[in-house]
Amino acid sequence: MTFPKIGVVGGGQLARMMAPAAEALGVGFHVLSEAEGSPAAQVSSQVTVGDYHDYEALLAFARTVDVLTFDHEHVPTEHLEALQAAGVSVQPQPQALVHAQDKLVMRAKMDELGLPNPAWAPVSSTAELAAFGERAGFPLILKTPRGGYDGHGVRVIDSAAEAADWFAEAPGPLLAEEKVDFARELAVMVGRSPSGQTAVWPVVETYQRDGICKEAIAPAPGLPAELAERIAGDVLTVAGALGVTGVMAMELFETPQGYVVNELAMRPHNTGHWTQDGSVTSQFEQHLRAVLDLPLGDPTAKAPFTAMGNVLGAEHEDLYRAYLHVLAHDPQAKVHMYGKSVRPGRKLGHVNVSGADPVEVRARARHAADYIAGTDPDPHPRHGRSDGPARAAGASAAESSARAESTAQTGAGA
């Protein structure tokens, strides 16, 4: 028995961040990248450039690896089924993945499993949308069942007539949903292997802007223990019922009654990036362990709180100088860059910060991310820290120079 090879379809940052996990686990790591020089292609020794819409390209790539998995959910279901029929180990399997690809399929499944959905309906015309709106009220949310991500394919609709353009273009029914009056957004991630082993990370609070995840903190501060238990139990129900393999994220709205399900993703997810530095097992390592049917790792958090801030592209095209400043300003910040060029709104990297105070770690992660992006001009914010980072056990005064520099810079901005 030799160490297996994994093949990832898609060369984005999620595939990129799987590479270190493959390195440590000692498994082979191949990427089917849509282009040369993609984030994952930059860090992988085995890269094939090819189009994931092309079945023959997928099959040829799959023949070079032991297990096929994904950086995104856009591979056509019929290709995945054909690969499976050809004997390829597709993980997650298309029968599971369709619940993350098609929001109508997902909503129906949640109902079947008794999980809390918002009011929803498939709608094929403005008349059907108007009828749904009479029941659920306006404004409501209209979604394309497939192809949406990061706010794409989602609209807030004040009247049925507004959606006429989408109905004119849509190949099938759209998904109409009640606009949920939520207290905050949460997410929970689970890893599950083909053998059925599972592991759930703590529930995360997330912060969106323009439909894009901007920040997350784990565990969700102040989440009632009973709700956390219920959510963890429910995500295990979903993972088992759908036959999930790999990691799955379930995005939620917290409501006065508990929560409702928002969306599913069947791959490492932005709301799980904190696990790279804040959990015994990162979501990227767990995804590889799970799709390879290796025993799963411990999802326990390593710090009281870990916050994640996304670096979202803005006007500044040169991030390097601000990046240097952030490394100097907060020597505990874990900066993860994706090797991308800057475009407005594009996810370019993220920053994780761990610590005991949820307000402080969020502020530090957000500042670091926004300063790199160029959207927070303050080089020396105060985050309400009463003291600098704790010193290492057995450390000398002299060895604190990395931290001393940080403290000095913080002080300079006071």
Within 10 A of 1 (CB to CB), how many other CB atoms are there? Answer: 3
Q: Which of 268, 349, 358, 374 binds a second copy (CB under 8 A)?
A: 349
Residues 6+ apart with CB under 8 A from 387: none
Known binding residue 238? Answer is no
**DSSP 8-state class, residue 49:** E
- Using the rule CB under 8 A, give the single segment among 54-62, 135-143, 158-166, 389-397 that binds a second copy: 389-397
| CB-based contacts of 215, cutoff 8 Å, min separation 6 | 206, 207, 307, 308, 309, 310, 362, 365, 366, 369
Tell me the helices (H) and strands (E) count for the chain, helix number first: 13, 17
Which residue, 175 or 290, is less far from a second copy as judged by CB?
290
Interface with a second copy (CB under 8 A), residue from 163, 190, 216, 238 = 190
Q: Smallest distance, Å, CB 321 to a second copy?
A: 6
Give the total of residues touching a second copy (CB under 8 A).
Answer: 84
Beta partners for residue 204, in sequence order? 187
DSSP class per residue in 339-377: -----TT-EEEEEEEEES-HHHHHHHHHHHHHHHHTS--
Of 38 and 126, the one with the shorter C-beta distance to a second copy is 38
241 binds a second copy (CB under 8 A): no
Choices 38-46, 55-63, 123-131, 245-253 (CB under 8 A): range interacting with a second copy: 38-46
Task: Please identify which residue in 328, 342, 345, 357 interacts with a second copy, judged by CB under 8 A.
Answer: 328
Q: Binding string to a second copy for residues 221 to 240, with x set by CB under 8 A, is what?
A: --x-x--xx--xx--x----
Q: Cα separation of 123 and 127, whole Å?
A: 8
Task: Pick the binder of a second copy from 405, 408, 411, 413 (CB under 8 A).
Answer: 405
Annotated ligand binding at 214? The verdict is: no
Output 7 or 299, the one with its CB closest to a second copy.
Answer: 299
For 198, the token pair is 């599972």
Is there a binding annotation on residue 117?
A: no
Q: What is the distance between the alpha carbons of residues 298 and 13, in angstroms, rounded to a whole number?
A: 23
CA 221 → CA 184, 353, 396, distances in Å?
11, 15, 34
Q: Is 103 among the annotated ligand-binding positions?
A: yes
Q: Which of residues 259-298 bind a second copy (CB under 8 A)?
A: 276, 280-281, 289, 294-298
Comparing CB distances to a second copy, the nearer of 131 and 280 is 280
399 is an interface residue for a second copy by CB under 8 A: yes
Is 180 annotated for ligand binding?
A: yes
Strand order in the sheet with 46-49: 46-49, 28-33, 5-9, 67-70
Q: Is 359 in the site for a second copy (CB under 8 A)?
A: no
Q: Are 218 and 202 in contact (CB under 8 A)?
A: yes
Point out the annotated binding site for ATP: 103, 143, 177-180, 185, 262-263
